[in-house]
């Protein structure tokens, strides 16, 4: 019965969003209410502990998740406000007129770079919004952005998920990083193929799509492997995405020889630089405050810090918000200063910030409830109940299902990092019992978590906000589920085959 009770919140959320097509905000409120009742009456969590657990989750939802989502949308709204989005649209179109090339460049290339540097929803929100501005349909833009935001999340936000996994399991970072890349190797070829097929599903386009996916995926794999094996977890997503962008642009030029010539740029180099000012500043700020520059990061982290304390089940949990290295702050500074460079006025840019908050009002409710219910599930023991039940039921076949546990963690929390915190130790512990390399099985948690990211309700909430499709969460979830299932199954087969 405890396993059934622990499963109910997930079942209810999937039924409401995926089958009954209830909007994300209403689904998440209902799921949160059910989870709180189950925590108190089925898992005997006290009312104060449950309430504090929700507050703890709400704090994590606000900082950094919602803060970053808001500023990612704001950065795009700044481009709309200054009309510099027209420059970017023309530039992307000037690289290639081919839809497969355009979509792959924006989601896998540019989106992967955003994930590698900032993470936390930017790689879904910004590419989806840009695709819509280029004339792609909103639902399509949301789905391809979600699918593309899978593999790069393993090393997203400058490698934080794998770094946290190494800390939780006390395993060496380099072997762990290398194992993650190897487990995702096949998917680095298949995900670009899925993206190009969705962009151009014609049968005669298949050879072109195969060429694109093999070349781009192969280069991403080689770059990520070398980076993970010789540098560590901080750079695979960044270096892999930069390499992919170069290859996509080169292939785009080759493919366009057979198609209509892309329109030439009518904007000057100064206008192009202005149009990119927002994203250039964001990327510079993120890199400078990343672990790549530990001295600067440490100095800024200690300047302005807010620490909140929560007492849950006799344990004191402290949550520190280091403002000067907060992704949301960096996105705001880059967007605001970039907006000024693009000709915007300070007052109008601040008014635009408030209108961005209003635009996200349903997303704010959705994400707070989703992270809140996952926090209540964790502290009441529901998540651990599900993980232990799965490991006990699978026995020697456990490696086949290990990625599923990681996917479950990301589905619930919306974060690869959080999934590793929840289940990293469990995976390493099971590895010792069944005689499997703990590096390999712990890496499976992250590999599976990247698949769960595709259908994470938080990611879907970000996508619907970026595409102005609030209320369509169920449709997007239904369309994305087959890709997520195939992703996790393939990962499980790879983990089991080489365990």
318 forms beta bridges with 309
Strand (E) or helix (H) holding 83 = none
320 forms beta bridges with 307
Least reliable range by pLDDT among 52-56, 317-321, 394-398, 485-489: 394-398
Q: Which residues contact 383 (CB under 8 A, 6 or more apart)?
A: 6, 374, 377, 408, 409, 412, 422
Strand (E) or helix (H) holding 396 = none
Question: Rounded to the nearest 5°, which phi and psi values hold at 74?
Answer: -60, -40
**Cα–Cα separations (whole angstroms), residue 292 to 154, 186, 298, 352, 477:** 17, 28, 11, 33, 36
Q: pLDDT tens for residues 170-184?
A: 889 899 999 999 999
Is 94 or 180 the better-scoring residue by pLDDT? 180
Whether residue 334 has pLDDT greater than 80: yes
Whether residue 288 has pLDDT greater than 90: no
Taking alpha carbons only, the member of 108, 101, 85 closest to residue 249 is 101
pLDDT of residue 394: 82
Is 350 or 74 the better-scoring residue by pLDDT? 350
pLDDT of residue 274: 94
CA 459 to chain CA centroid, Å, is 7
316 forms beta bridges with 311
Whether residue 130 has pLDDT greater than 70: yes
Q: pLDDT tens for residues 404-447?
A: 989 988 887 777 877 887 778 778 878 877 888 989 999 999 99
pLDDT of residue 147: 95
CA 260 to chain CA centroid, Å, is 35
Strand (E) or helix (H) holding 316 = strand 315-322
Please state the rounded mean pLDDT for residues 270-299.
Answer: 85
Neighbours of 451 (CB within 10 A): 29
pLDDT of residue 309: 94
Which pLDDT band holds residue 472 (cuts at 50, 70, 90)?
confident
Is 49 or 233 the better-scoring residue by pLDDT? 49
Greatest pairwise CA separation for the chain in angstroms? 68
Q: What is the CA radius of gyration of the chain?
A: 22
Pair 229, 178: CB distance under 8 Å:
yes
Sign of CA dihedral 204, 207, 213, 219: negative
Pair 377, 383: CB distance under 8 Å:
yes
Whether residue 262 has pLDDT greater than 70: no
Q: What is the DSSP letter of 397?
A: G
Q: Can you spell out the DSSP letters for 427-444?
A: HHHHHHHHT--HHHHHHH
Please state the rounded mean pLDDT for residues 329-342.
Answer: 93
Confirm whether pTM is higher than 0.85: no
Q: What is the percent of the chain with per-residue pLDDT over 90, rounded to a whole number?
A: 44
Whether residue 371 has pLDDT greater than 70: yes
Q: Can you spell out the DSSP letters for 134-153?
A: TT--HHHHHHHHHHHSSGGG
CA 231, CA 237: separation in Å to the nearest integer? 12
Q: What angle do CA 154, 171, 436 make, to 5 degrees?
A: 90
Whether residue 260 has pLDDT greater than 80: no
Q: What is the DSSP letter of 304?
A: S
Q: What is the percent of the chain with per-residue pLDDT over 70, rounded to a whole number?
A: 97
Neighbours of 348 (CB within 10 A): 13
| Number of Cα atoms under 13 Å in the Cβ half of residue 356 | 26
Taking alpha carbons only, the member of 439, 407, 21, 389 closest to residue 233 is 439
Q: Which residues contact 210 (CB under 8 A, 6 or more apart)?
A: 193
Pair 288, 334: CB distance under 8 Å:
no
């Amino acid at each position: 019965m405890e396993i059934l009770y622990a499963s109910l919140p997930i079942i209810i959320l999937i039924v409401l969003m995926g089958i009954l097509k209830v909007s994300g905000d209403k689904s998440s409120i209902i799921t949160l209410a059910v989870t709180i009742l189950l925590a108190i009456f089925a898992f005997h969590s006290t009312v104060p502990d449950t309430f504090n657990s929700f507050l703890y989750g709400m704090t994590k939802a606000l900082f950094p998740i919602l803060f970053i989502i808001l500023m990612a949308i704001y950065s795009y709204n700044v481009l709309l406000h200054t009309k510099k989005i027209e420059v970017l649209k023309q530039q992307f179109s000037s690289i290639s007129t081919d839809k497969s090339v355009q979509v792959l460049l924006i989601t896998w290339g540019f989106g992967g770079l955003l994930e590698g540097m900032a993470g936390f929803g930017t790689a879904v929100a910004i590419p989806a919004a840009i695709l819509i501005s280029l004339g792609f349909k909103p639902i399509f833009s949301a789905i391809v952005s979600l699918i593309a935001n899978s593999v790069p999340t393993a090393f997203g936000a400058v490698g934080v998920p794998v770094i946290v996994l190494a800390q939780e399991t006390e395993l060496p970072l380099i072997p762990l990083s290398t194992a993650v890349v190897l487990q995702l190797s096949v998917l680095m070829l298949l995900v670009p193929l899925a993206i190009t097929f969705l962009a151009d599903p014609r049968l005669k386009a298949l050879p072109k799509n195969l060429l694109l996916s093999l070349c781009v995926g192969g280069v991403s794999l080689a770059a990520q492997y070398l980076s993970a094996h010789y540098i560590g977890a901080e750079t695979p997503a960044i270096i892999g995405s930069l390499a992919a962008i170069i290859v996509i642009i080169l292939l785009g030029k080759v493919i366009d020889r057979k198609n209509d010539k892309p329109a030439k740029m009518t904007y000057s180099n100064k206008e192009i630089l202005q149009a990119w000012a927002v994203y250039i500043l964001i990327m510079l700020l993120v890199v400078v405050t990343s672990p790549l520059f530990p001295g600067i990061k440490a100095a800024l982290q200690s300047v302005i810090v807010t620490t909140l304390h929560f007492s849950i089940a006799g344990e004191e949990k402290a949550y520190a918000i280091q403002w000067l290295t907060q992704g949301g702050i960096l996105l705001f500074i880059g967007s605001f200063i970039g907006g000024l460079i693009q000709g915007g006025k300070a007052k109008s840019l601040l008014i635009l910030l408030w209108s961005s908050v209003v635009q996200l009002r349903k997303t704010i409710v959705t994400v707070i409830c989703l992270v809140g219910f996952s926090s209540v599930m964790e502290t009441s023991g529901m998540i651990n109940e599900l993980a232990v039940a799965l490991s006990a039921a699978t026995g020697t076949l456990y490696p086949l299902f290990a990625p599923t546990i990681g996917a479950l963690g990301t589905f619930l929390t919306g974060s690869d990092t959080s999934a590793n915190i929840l289940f990293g130790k469990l995976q390493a512990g099971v590895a010792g019992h069944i005689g499997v390399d703990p590096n390999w099985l712990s890496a499976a948690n992250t590999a599976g978590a990247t698949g769960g990211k595709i259908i994470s309700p938080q990611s879907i909430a970000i996508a619907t906000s970026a595409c102005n499709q609030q209320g369509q969460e169920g449709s997007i979830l239904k369309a994305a589920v087959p890709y997520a299932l195939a992703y996790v199954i393939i990962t499980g087969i790879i983990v089991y085959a080489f365990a």
